[in-house]
Chain A
Amino acid sequence: MEISLAHYLALAAVLFGIGLFGVLTRRNAVGILMSIELMFNAVNINLVAFNRFVTPADFTGQIFSIFVIVVAAAEATVGLAIVLLIYRNFRDIFVDNINLMKW
């Protein structure tokens, strides 16, 4: 029994689907950000798995997954700052109640 590339890609696809479901259904803005983190992790599993199986001689996939992690950290920081600001102004972080700019 050997774990092949397809196993890792299937795991990443399922994890991405879970994150997608969370983004589509969560009302809490922090919950949406957590679901986005799940999707980032699915992409990173794909990058590292392709690095391991398709280009094992260089580290391109691992380096790009480092960049994805850094951008995810920046996104979480700014996103949570925006969530805190919204909470301070509206006393609410449920995204279906924050419809000030919705026509």
Chain B
Amino acid sequence: MNSTIIPYLFYLFSFMIVVSGLLVVTLRNIFHCALFLIICLFSVAGVYVLLGADFIAAVQVLLYVGAIAVLMIFAIMLTAKVSGIGIKQQNEQVPIAIITTVAFVAIALYGLGKTIWNIKTDAVISGDTTMAIGKLLMTTYVVPFEIVSVVLLAALIGAIVIARRN
């Protein structure tokens, strides 16, 4: 990728992430929130591409945009009459939540501004990351890989058991 265009793309994706994320947490219509969540997740996939993680970007689009967002929309559709315009969607904790959030973000930004990171730029791997990730998942990280697949299976069966009508 042409490196001169990366800053512009980064600021474009950041703008889209922050604006659509704010709309996700503040809009009254919960269905519109789900649509803006899709935009936000797409923009995060764009940030992964800028970071050279093409496999993670593909997984993000497949799993988040393709599966989780559709699941959210299904849940919104199935829990009808609670997503109307006139219904209050936020509780009475908004002022205290604003204070907490701003304090957290300020502390995090102050901390990361103060920290000196151990940055290595010599061995940046460009190009295809899928093969390297696949090899690592089958060799070094095979035990966590198997455990996480069991977790996924347990969640699948658990969701069916919980949501089953009897």
**A35 partner residues in chain B, CB cutoff 8 A:** 24-25
| CB within 8 Å of B: which A39-58 residues | 41, 44-45, 48-49, 51-58
CA distance A20 to B52 in the complex (A): 28
**A34 partner residues in chain B, CB cutoff 8 A:** 24, 33-34, 37, 72
Known: A20-B100, A34-B34, A80-B75. Is A59-B120 also a contact (CB below 8 A)? no
Are the CB atoms of B24 and A22 closer together than 8 Å? yes
Known: A67-B148, A70-B151. Is A25-B113 also a contact (CB below 8 A)? no
CB distance from A67 to the nearest CB of B (A): 5
Are the CB atoms of A94 and B82 closer together than 8 Å? yes
**Per a CB cutoff under 8 Å, which of B10, B41, B119 touches A7?**
B10
Known: A5-B119, A30-B76, A52-B51. Is A77-B71 also a contact (CB below 8 A)? yes
**Per a CB cutoff under 8 Å, which of B24, B76, B88, B112 touches A27?**
B88
| Interface residues of chain A: helix, strand, loop or mixed (majority) | helix
**A84 partner residues in chain B, CB cutoff 8 A:** 75, 78-79, 163
Q: How many residues of B contact A (CB 8 A)?
A: 85
| Interface residues of chain B: helix, strand, loop or mixed (majority) | helix
**B141 partner residues in chain A, CB cutoff 8 A:** 63
A: contact size bracket:
35 or more
Q: Is B144 an interface residue (CB 8 A)?
A: yes
CA distance A56 to B52 in the complex (A): 10
How many A-B pairs have beta carbons closer than 8 Å: the answer is: 232
17 new A-B pairs (CB below 8 Å) besides A30-B30, A56-B120?
A11-B17, A13-B108, A20-B104, A22-B24, A25-B97, A27-B91, A28-B30, A41-B41, A45-B47, A48-B56, A57-B125, A63-B141, A67-B144, A71-B148, A76-B71, A78-B155, A81-B163
Interface residues, chain A, with chain B CB atoms under 8 Å away? 1-11, 13-22, 24-28, 30-31, 33-35, 37-38, 41, 44-45, 48-49, 51-59, 62-63, 65-67, 69-78, 80-85, 87, 92-94, 96
